[in-house]
Amino acid sequence: MMTAPQARPAASPAVAGASAPEPAPLLAPLPAPLLDVRGLTISYGNARGTLRAASDVGFAIRPGEVMGLVGESGSGKSTIAMAILDLLGGGGRVESGEILFDGTDLRKLPASERRALRGDRIAAVFQDPFTSLNPALTVGRQIAEPLIRHKGLSPRQAAVRVEELLAEVGIRDPRRVAAAYPHELSGGMQQRALIATALGCEPKLLILDEPTTALDVTVEARIIELLAKLCDSHKLSALFVSHNLGIVNRICQTVTVLYGGVVVETGATGRVLSRPAHPYSKGLVAALPRITADRRHRLPSIPGTVAKLSGPPAACVFAPRCPFADETCRSRPQAMLTDGDGDGVRCWKADALSGTPWPDEAAAPPRRPPTGTAAETRSAPLVEVDHLRKIYGASRSILPWLRRAGTVAVEDVSFTIGRGEVVGVVGESGSGKSTIGRALLALTEPSAGTVLFDGADLTQQVKRGDQTLRRRAQLVFQNSAASLNPRKTVGAAMDRPLVLAGREDAEERRRTVAGLLTRVGLPAAYADRYPHELSGGERQRVNIARALATDPDFVVCDEAVSALDVSVQANILNLLAELRDEMGLSYLFITHDIAVVSHIADRVLVVYGGTICEEGPIGRVLRPPYHPYTEALLSAVPRLAEDRKEAPRILLEDAAAAPGGRGCAFAARCPRKLGTVCDEQAPPVHETADGHRIACHIPLATLAERAAVFPELAGDAPH
Amino acid sequence: MLAYTLTRLVYLALVLAVMSVLVFLVTQAMPGDVASMIAGQFASKEVVDAIAVKLGLDQPLIVQYGRWAAGILRGDLGRSLVLEQPIAPILMEALGRSLVLAVVALAVVAVVGIALGVLAAVRRGKLTDQLVSGVSYLGIAVPDFFWAIVLVLVFGSYLKLLPTGGYAPIADGFLPWASHLVLPVVTLVLMLLARIARLTRSSMIDVLQTNYVKFARAKGMPESVVILRHALKNALLPTITVLAIDFGLILGGVVVIETIFSYPGMGRLLLFAIQRHDLPLIQATILIVSAAYCLANLTADLLYAFVNPKIRHGMRAS
Ligand SMILES: Nc1ncnc2c1ncn2[C@@H]1O[C@H](COP(=O)(O)OP(=O)(O)O)[C@@H](O)[C@H]1O
Ligand code: SF4
Ligand code: SF4
Ligand SMILES: [Mg+2]
């Protein structure tokens, strides 16, 4: 993997408007930056006023260097990336500044010349591969377009080159993929195709805006590996926009931290992530959930929301959220303080604070003792799932070509959830996690098997129209914006479940709503607000409050924190943990992020292709013996420099076909597959201890021989 | 795609079979009976009965239907009672004239409507957009027959530029033929243009905001390619569906339009058949109009599947 070059070139300080770069040491003549952004100020104008999405932003990327641009969502990362591409839409305007590419100020070029650079010298890959390819055109045609346009190739020559490019980004049958339409490819393949498109004209600079955010972790690991390799072999420079510090750590040599459209820190990746100087950077690093962290601690979070400026800053932008802020911070804007090594920080106290970590969460209530012994928990489970199976879209028809076997979403799953227990479900998208959650809430009817809630069959009850049990089980899901009606106030949205529960006194309901809002840490006055007036984290709090309205015993959290920034994610995770401790709630916590699960869950189910491949107490699942899929999943987790012990990473092949058939669901991608036995026979379940089970044909003893993915965990007693 | 087409054809056959039963039953229930109409007003009961026996009208309904349906399958639509001629040639001639009207109108609506919609979307918020939107609004707010009357008054009666009605066979020359088409076609177009333009505009605006359009721009594609190659093909999906519905509307609207402009197509023929109680002619006309309508829908669905690879391949994948 890439590491920071030993001799850090003294980058020109990213001070706003700095004109003369510092004299470089004579011994190592510096290559001129390929991209040099200076004093870039960008505003969005609309009816309600102007928003400064970037203020006086400066940074430089040298040839062959990958620079990370990090910050919470809304901090202006994409805006800057789009400004470089001249693709700012929606009323965005560059007010001032220079964007020097290879020494030329792009802003001075006519639009047609900038367009000619796009896709040729400067190429881009965006976040969401599922929507970045045109559904109506073949993949090959879309990759060929810039080749034909910029390089003047004939369609036939381009087709040859397209296959080379696809092979280069690791696609095994380029010809088939080139002829395919986007929907016929998996997300990972689509992202590879987009990368192939970007590489086509051999650009000098890549703009990567969250290129892996929408992908599963195992796929993400492979795409990052590919990008790192390509940047290295093609001597590419890249601007890598991301909110994921672990990934930045893996691919970027330098990193620039953005807050409220202002650069607050810049420097070599290793240094910034291991010894962040700016309080905001400290907060971002601290809030990252880590598998290796002590689970009894609450995650530090950054309270508040991203600053939105409308003019030049009059104080430190971070002051409203900074735990170290004082009068000086609030009365004057901060200048970038740089040293000769290319490190810069926009905080006058940075030196004084160098040894001070981001503060721990204040007043953490004592964590409830771990759920009683396994035997006790199991004696009276709250939820019992027995041989659950769900098939979607099966259809019978008299016309033979219309008959469908349907897709198996969940293939025979059994588990229990104890009272006050948090059971995590991890797995990639499409593995059946949400279907399990929906079946537990009787939102979807199982094709086979039963779900007992407190001893009663929830599905049957709901069928009979009896809602009492259902009120005791609630759902919080990912998209906090879509789950609230934009035309209803928060209070009205929370009132509804209360009315449905038969609470007649309006005044009493109002008090309950106020109480619930306070309970999730929001001012009671928020009842009068509309969803668009809330931040993402606040909306998710409202969703949680609404789920709590009927005083449930059990909550299914379906990717409840996945769409949130780490800073906010930590906050919501803490809230959920607190509610569990105080109200004795049980959760089914569904997520694709095993680090998040390791923070909140007592037990974990690792699912693949609708089957449970491993289950057990979190402490056991994180240590060997591992199921081969769990091992790959754990090894794909991006980690910060300080956690990094060079463990060999297990990279899974892209899924070739949907899992199915008689054998092991993971057989098509399993790096340790034994042979036909895996394809033909369902794997046996090995039980180690404490209800830790692994379904695999490999004997337990052999599985136990593998090295720990997180050696730093090895000493701890499980649990 | 093949399986999909097959499925749709099976459905089409089913729908037509049901339609034929309905048409047959409804016309049976209408006042007047065929035998006495053929026999004439003053025929004796014996004569009427004899004719009924000869035509098989004394047999149970199901047998009568079977014979009628079998005839249709052989291409024999029966004889018109009033015109005393085989129906098929008359009907085909009228159908041809109506189809010319409908197809020309639909083509104009599609081309002009889509062009206006795209233009408005690309110049969103600018003067062009406001003009298109304003005119569209007028088009939707004003009732259809109003245009017909205005057009007849202005171009026919006042300016005397165009014939206000009737029909000239193309054998008489292209110009006379075409000039008789202008007013009915323009009326039909005005009925439908606004909706297509507005629909295209809004789906085009949505598509222009998608990531793949952004990505096409990031590849350095010029705006014309972005709009025509990347955006339009996707934006047209809803428009195609509505155009198909419109084709049905035109076929229906043709009855009114043909009456206003005394244009001898299917609409006039149907009206004539109903006024004169010509039961076999009524049956045949309704059946053929229904079949044309269903075929239009089928064509639209196939077209939709063809431009939408997700459907095209979905059919064969799972
Ligand atoms: N088209 C737009 N119109 C108005 N405001 C916008 C627009 N796009 C982004 N913004 C605002 O600009 C700020 C920066 O957004 P963005 O560049 O997307 O940040 P990031 O990529 O870091 O999440 C945010 O406050 C966002 O709401
Ligand atoms: S200047 Fe003050 S408020 Fe701003 S980051 Fe530094 S300590 Fe915090
Ligand atoms: S059963 Fe076979 S394919 Fe499945 S995980 Fe074990 S070794 Fe891999
Ligand atoms: Mg962004």
Q: Which residue of B has its CA nearest to A84?
A: B218
Q: What is the pLDDT of residues A488-503, one digit of tens each?
A: 888 998 888 888 878 8
Determine the average pLDDT of the residues in A563-587. Answer: 84
Task: For residue B16, give how far its alpha carbon lies from the nearest alpha carbon of chain A (Å).
Answer: 18
Say if residue B112's pLDDT is above 50: yes
Q: In 10 A of CB A385, how many CB atoms?
A: 23
pLDDT at A375: 42
CATH class of the domain at B91-317 = mainly alpha
- Answer whether residue A20 is part of any domain: no
Which of A461, A460, A521, A471 shows the shortest CA–CA distance to A496? A471
Residue among A50, A55, A79 whose CB has most ligand 1 atoms within 8 A, to mutate: A79
A330-334, B53-57, B298-302: range with highest mean pLDDT: A330-334
Closest residue by Cα to atom 1, ligand 1, is A90
The confidence band for A195, taking pLDDT boundaries of 50, 70 and 90, is very high
A132, A195, A392: which to substitute to probe chain B, counting the most B Cβ within 10 Å?
A132
Say if residue A11's pLDDT is above 50: no
Q: Poorest-confidence range of A235-244, A519-528, A705-714, B126-135?
A: A705-714
What residues in A contact B308, CB-CB < 8 Å?
A: 135-136
pLDDT at A5: 40
Determine the average pLDDT of the residues in A10-17. Answer: 40
At B264, list the tokens: 């001898």
- Contact between A183 and B313 using a beta-carbon 8 Å cutoff: yes
β A448-453/A407-417 pair status: unpaired
pLDDT: which is higher, B299 or A480? B299
The confidence band for A294, taking pLDDT boundaries of 50, 70 and 90, is low
Say if residue A710's pLDDT is above 50: yes
Q: Which residue of B has its CA nearest to A203?
A: B219
- Answer whether residue A658 is part of any domain: yes
ipTM of the complex: 0.77
Q: Poorest-confidence range of A172-176, A582-586, B242-246?
A: B242-246
pLDDT at A3: 40
Q: Please say whether the dihedral angle defined by the alpha carbons of residues A649, A653, A658 and A664, taken in this order, is positive or negative.
A: negative
Say if residue A178's pLDDT is above 90: yes
> Which structural domain, as residue segments, surrounds residue A687?
622-714
Determine the average pLDDT of the residues in A327-347. Answer: 88
Please answer whether residues A273 and A245 qualify as being in contact, where contact means their C-beta atoms are separated by less than 8 angstroms.
yes
pLDDT at A146: 95
A672 ligand 3 Cβ < 6 A: yes
Task: Quote the CA–CA distance of B220 and A116 in Å, as a whole number.
Answer: 6
Kindly report the backbone phi and psi dihedral angles of residue A653, in degrees, each rounded to the nearest multiple of 5, phi listed first: -65, 155
- Answer whether residue A669 is part of any domain: yes
B8, B212, B311, B313: which to substitute to probe chain A, counting the most A Cβ within 10 Å?
B212
Q: Which residue of A has its CA nearest to B311?
A: A183
Helices and strands (H, E) in chain A, number of each type: 25, 24
Please answer whether residues A205 and A121 qualify as being in contact, where contact means their C-beta atoms are separated by less than 8 angstroms.
yes
**CA contacts within 13 A on the Cβ side of A632:** 26
Say if residue A21's pLDDT is above 50: no
Determine the average pLDDT of the residues in A88-95. Answer: 86
Q: What is the pLDDT of residues B64-101, one digit of tens each?
A: 888 888 888 888 888 887 788 888 888 888 888 888 88
pLDDT: which is higher, A641 or B187? B187
- What percentage of chain A reaches a pLDDT higher than 70? 86
Closest residue by Cα to atom 1, ligand 2, is A347
Which of A578, A558, A589, A587 shows the shortest CA–CA distance to A482? A558
At B137, list the tokens: 């609004």
Maximal CA-CA distance, chain A: 83
Which of A501, A527, A506 shows the shortest CA–CA distance to A515? A527
From the CA of A49, how far away is ligand 1's center (Å)? 14
- For A136, the closest of B222, B225, B309 (CB atoms) is B309
Say if residue A194's pLDDT is above 80: yes
The confidence band for A22, taking pLDDT boundaries of 50, 70 and 90, is very low
Q: What is the DSSP string of A582-631?
A: HH--EEEEEES-HHHHHHH-SEEEEEETTEEEEEEEHHHHTSSS--HHHH
Q: In 10 A of CB B173, how many CB atoms?
A: 11
pLDDT at A718: 45
Q: Which residue of B has its CA nearest to A118?
A: B220
Determine the average pLDDT of the residues in A211-221. Answer: 80
Task: Quote the CA–CA distance of B217 and B211 in Å, as a whole number.
Answer: 10
Determine the average pLDDT of the residues in B116-145. Answer: 83
Task: Quote the CA–CA distance of A142 and A179 in Å, as a whole number.
Answer: 10
Say if residue B305's pLDDT is above 90: no
Q: What is the pLDDT of residues B36-57, one digit of tens each?
A: 777 776 777 787 787 777 777 7
Tell me, yes or no, if A116 comes closer than 8 A to chain B by beta carbon: yes
A46, A151, A401: which to substitute to probe chain B, counting the most B Cβ within 10 Å?
A401
Q: Using CB atoms within 10 A of its CB, is residue A11 exposed (0-12), middle (13-18) or buried (19+)?
A: buried
Q: Poorest-confidence range of A33-47, A199-213, A513-527, A617-631?
A: A513-527
Q: Poorest-confidence range of A208-212, A379-383, B272-276?
A: A379-383
The confidence band for A475, taking pLDDT boundaries of 50, 70 and 90, is confident
Q: What is the DSSP string of A618-630?
A: HHHHTSSS--HHH
Which residues are bridge partners to A46 per DSSP?
A49
pLDDT at A481: 62
- Contact between B7 and A404 using a beta-carbon 8 Å cutoff: no
Q: What is the pLDDT of residues A133-170, one digit of tens each?
A: 999 899 999 999 999 999 999 999 999 999 999 998 88
- For A136, the closest of B3, B211, B233 (CB atoms) is B233
Residues of chain B contacting A, Cβ within 8 Å:
3, 6-7, 10, 210-212, 214-222, 225, 229-230, 233-234, 307-310, 313, 317-318
Please answer whether residues A1 and A50 qualify as being in contact, where contact means their C-beta atoms are separated by less than 8 angstroms.
no
At B45, list the tokens: 């009961």
At A90, list the tokens: 């929606």
Mean pLDDT of the residues in chain A: 83
Task: Specify the pTM.
Answer: 0.79
Task: For residue A91, give how far its alpha carbon lies from the nearest alpha carbon of chain B (Å).
Answer: 12
Say if residue A289's pLDDT is above 60: yes
- Contact between A401 and B230 using a beta-carbon 8 Å cutoff: no
- Answer whether residue A378 is part of any domain: no
- Contact between A132 and B212 using a beta-carbon 8 Å cutoff: yes
Please answer whether residues B80 and B283 qualify as being in contact, where contact means their C-beta atoms are separated by less than 8 angstroms.
no
Three-state SS at B79: strand
N residues, chain A: 719
The confidence band for A401, taking pLDDT boundaries of 50, 70 and 90, is low
pLDDT: which is higher, A3 or B81? B81
Q: How many domains does chain A have?
A: 1
Three-state SS at B7: helix
Kindly report the backbone phi and psi dihedral angles of residue B113, in degrees, each rounded to the nearest multiple of 5, phi listed first: -65, -45
pLDDT: which is higher, A344 or A21? A344
Determine the average pLDDT of the residues in A506-532. Answer: 86
- For A126, the closest of B10, B211, B309 (CB atoms) is B211
Say if residue A715's pLDDT is above 60: no
Q: Poorest-confidence range of A295-309, A503-517, A678-692?
A: A295-309
Determine the average pLDDT of the residues in A655-667. Answer: 73
Which ranges of B56-154 would DSSP assign to H, the alpha helix? 61-73, 87-122, 127-141, 144-151
pLDDT at A648: 62
pLDDT at B317: 37
Q: Using CB atoms within 10 A of its CB, is residue A323 exposed (0-12), middle (13-18) or buried (19+)?
A: middle
Task: Quote the CA–CA distance of A366 and B307 in Å, as a whole number.
Answer: 61
pLDDT: which is higher, A183 or A138? A138
Task: Supply the DSSP symbol for A122.
Answer: E
pLDDT at A570: 83
Three-state SS at A388: strand
- For A184, the closest of B212, B214, B313 (CB atoms) is B313
Q: Give yes or no for a cis peptide into A381 (omega within 30° of 0).
A: no
Non-local (6+) Cβ contacts of B154 within 8 A are none
Determine the average pLDDT of the residues in B277-285. Answer: 85
Closest residue by Cα to atom 7, ligand 3, is A673
A665 ligand 3 Cβ < 6 A: no
The confidence band for A261, taking pLDDT boundaries of 50, 70 and 90, is very high
Mean pLDDT of the residues in chain B: 83
Q: Containing H/E element for A208?
A: strand A205-209
pLDDT: which is higher, A242 or A306? A242
N residues, chain B: 318
Q: Please say whether the dihedral angle defined by the alpha carbons of residues A70, A72, A76 and A79, taken in this order, is positive or negative.
A: positive
Residue A73: nearest ligand to its CA? Answer: 1
pLDDT: which is higher, A639 or A540? A540
Closest residue by Cα to atom 6, ligand 2, is A347
- What percentage of chain B reaches a pLDDT higher than 90? 15
Q: Which residue of B has its CA nearest to A198?
A: B219
The confidence band for A609, taking pLDDT boundaries of 50, 70 and 90, is confident
- For A145, the closest of B10, B219, B308 (CB atoms) is B219
A257-271, A296-310, A389-403, A578-592: range with highest mean pLDDT: A257-271
Task: Supply the DSSP symbol for B230.
Answer: I
Q: What is the pLDDT of residues A25-66, one digit of tens each?
A: 445 566 789 999 999 999 988 776 788 989 999 999 999 999
Say if residue A378's pLDDT is above 50: no
pLDDT at A426: 92
Please answer whether residues A223 and A215 qualify as being in contact, where contact means their C-beta atoms are separated by less than 8 angstroms.
yes
